[in-house]
Amino acid sequence: MQINKFKFGILKTGEEVFKYTLKNKDLEISILNYGGIITEIIMPDKDGKNENIVLGYDNILDYEEKAPYFGAITGRVAGRIAKGKFTLEEKAYNLAINNGENNLHGGIKGLDKRIWDVELLEDGIELSYISPHMEEGFPGEVKFKVRYILKGTTLELLYTGIPDEKTLINLTNHTYFNLSGNCKESILNHKLYIDADKVPYLDTGSIPTGELFIVEGTPFDFRTSKNIGKDIGEDDTQLNQTKGYDHPFILNKNKDVEVILDHKASGRAIEIRTDREAVVVYSGNYLGDDEGKLSCGVEAKQHLGVCLETQELPNNINIEEFKSSIYDSKNSYEAKTIFRFKTVGKEVK
Ligand code: G6D
């Protein structure tokens, strides 16, 4: 595998942004030291045509000013924390508020907007960032590391977070996939399979209420692969209030491959394996407001990409029934998600 480093741009702060490209005989993946952003994943279609399958930009200014987390590491805590409030060891915390009355994806300047140190590895890169105590309102200093490992047809994302005191950690990657290649069409004709029986209800602020519903007989049943667009227009309260899918799916954890996204016309597919309890499916419902022109040459529009954000459940610190995301120096955070990229009729080895 080759790893090449390119100058990508300069942030408004004057910090330099570099792009690291991991390339083997079948895949080419580019990652920035800014937010660990995946700017491109280039893979072949069934005719061997190499195209980019993620949404992003070709310049740093658009990432700084317009990106809705395109390709980024999100945290310290992915998803929303209601009103930015939580209590930990009887101490009340107030996080930065950046989405209505809530904290979203780690706050105003979350991990997606930080410059990470980069170390080249034999089969990828390792990004490191030390988040200081009370950054965006989160207690404790946390030493984060995220490894992007390219092995044949798979991209492994390995996350660690070592706090110096009890705190919350729940990371994910917020890449928007579009398997048609270079944004040829929306993701509504992409088929999605998710091995998940239950989904938390969201309130009108997209905060989980704590109550779960069974997907059977609802538009949220992806236990048999179906087009994302098949039921997205149903008159369903949960879909209506988020303009599409924007929900955590609680994985049954009884299969190796728990999520499969595939696109028949191109022959491309992604299989996801994860040690996380859930995957947030976001069908790009709010795209098209002001993201402008993307690196694929197309103006962003609703449902142009789908995010498959493996993580623990959002707002779990405030919901007794949800598994916690509390870690400390003796019980540090570790997470692993593997994306396998396949082309029908040709195992991308
Ligand atoms: C919207 O509700 C969605 C989030 O899930 C998504 O991560 C963000 O847009 C980019 O706020």
Cis geometry, peptide bond prior to residue 114 (ω within 30 degrees of 0): no
Mutate which of 63, 246, 303, 308 to test ligand 1's pocket (most atoms within 8 Å of Cβ)?
246
Enter the tokens of residue 124. 């990828």
Query: Cα(238) to centroid of ligand 1, in Å?
Result: 15
The owner of tokens 């039921």 is 231
Backbone angles phi, psi at 294, to 5 degrees: -95, 175
Q: What is the C-alpha separation between 24 and 129, in angstroms, rounded?
A: 27
In the predicted structure, residue 104 carries a pLDDT above the cut 90: yes
Q: What is the C-alpha separation between 136 and 86, in angstroms, rounded?
A: 13
For residue 289, what pLDDT is reported? 79
Q: What is the C-alpha separation between 294 and 314, in angstroms, rounded?
A: 29
The percentage of residues in the chain with a pLDDT greater than 70, rounded to a whole number, is 99
Backbone angles phi, psi at 252, to 5 degrees: -70, -20
The answer to whether residues 35 and 56 touch, using CB atoms and an 8 Å cutoff, is no
Mean pLDDT of 166-175: 98
Query: Cα(4) to centroid of ligand 1, in Å?
Result: 32
For residue 346, what pLDDT is reported? 52
Backbone angles phi, psi at 324, to 5 degrees: -85, 165
Mean pLDDT of 320-325: 95
Enter the tokens of residue 233. 């227009």
Residue spans of the domains in the chain: they are 2-343
Nearest of 268, 283, 287, 202 to residue 236 by alpha carbon = 202
Q: What is the C-alpha separation between 78 and 72, in angstroms, rounded?
A: 11
Mean pLDDT of 215-235: 98
Cite the active site residues.
Answer: 174, 309
In the predicted structure, residue 237 carries a pLDDT above the cut 60: yes
Query: Cα(68) to centroid of ligand 1, in Å?
Result: 7
Band (pLDDT 50/70/90 cuts) for residue 345 is low
What is the 3-class SS of the chain, one letter each residue?
CEEEEEEEEECCCCCEEEEEEEECCCCEEEEECECCCEEEEEEECCCCCEEECECCCCCHHHHHHCCCCCCCEECCECCEEHHHEEEECCEEEECCCCECCEEECCCCCCHHHCECEEEEECCEEEEEEEECCCECCECCCEEEEEEEEEECCEEEEEEEEEECCCEECECEECCEECCCCCCCCCCCCCEEEECEEEEEEECCCCCEEEEEEECCCCCCCCCCCEECCCCCCCCCHHHHHHCCCEEEEEECCCCCCCEEEEECCCCEEEEEEECCCEEEEECCCCCCCCCCECCCCCECCCCCCEEEEEECCCCHHHCCCCCCCEEECCECEEEEEEEEEEECCECCC
Mutate which of 172, 241, 282 to test ligand 1's pocket (most atoms within 8 Å of Cβ)?
282
The percentage of residues in the chain with a pLDDT greater than 90, rounded to a whole number, is 98
For residue 82, what pLDDT is reported? 98
Query: From the CB of 206, is ligand 1 less than 6 Å away?
Result: yes
Query: Cα(39) to centroid of ligand 1, in Å?
Result: 18
Mean pLDDT of 118-127: 98
Cβ neighbors of 119 (< 8 A, separation 6 or more) are: 125, 126, 128
For residue 55, what pLDDT is reported? 98
Mean pLDDT of 135-163: 98
Query: Cα(104) to centroid of ligand 1, in Å?
Result: 8
Query: From the CB of 282, is ligand 1 less than 6 Å away?
Result: yes
Mutate which of 70, 80, 98, 99 to test ligand 1's pocket (most atoms within 8 Å of Cβ)?
99
For residue 348, what pLDDT is reported? 45
Mean pLDDT of 104-115: 98
In the predicted structure, residue 180 carries a pLDDT above the cut 70: yes
Mean pLDDT of 129-150: 98
For residue 344, what pLDDT is reported? 85
Query: From the CB of 18, is ligand 1 less than 6 Å away?
Result: no
Neighbouring-strand partners of residue 160:
145, 334
Query: From the CB of 69, is ligand 1 less than 6 Å away?
Result: yes
Q: Are strands 333-343 and 191-194 parallel, antiparallel or unpaired?
A: unpaired
**Going by CATH, does the domain composed of 2-343 fall within 2.70.98.10?**
yes
Band (pLDDT 50/70/90 cuts) for residue 347 is very low
pTM of the model: 0.97
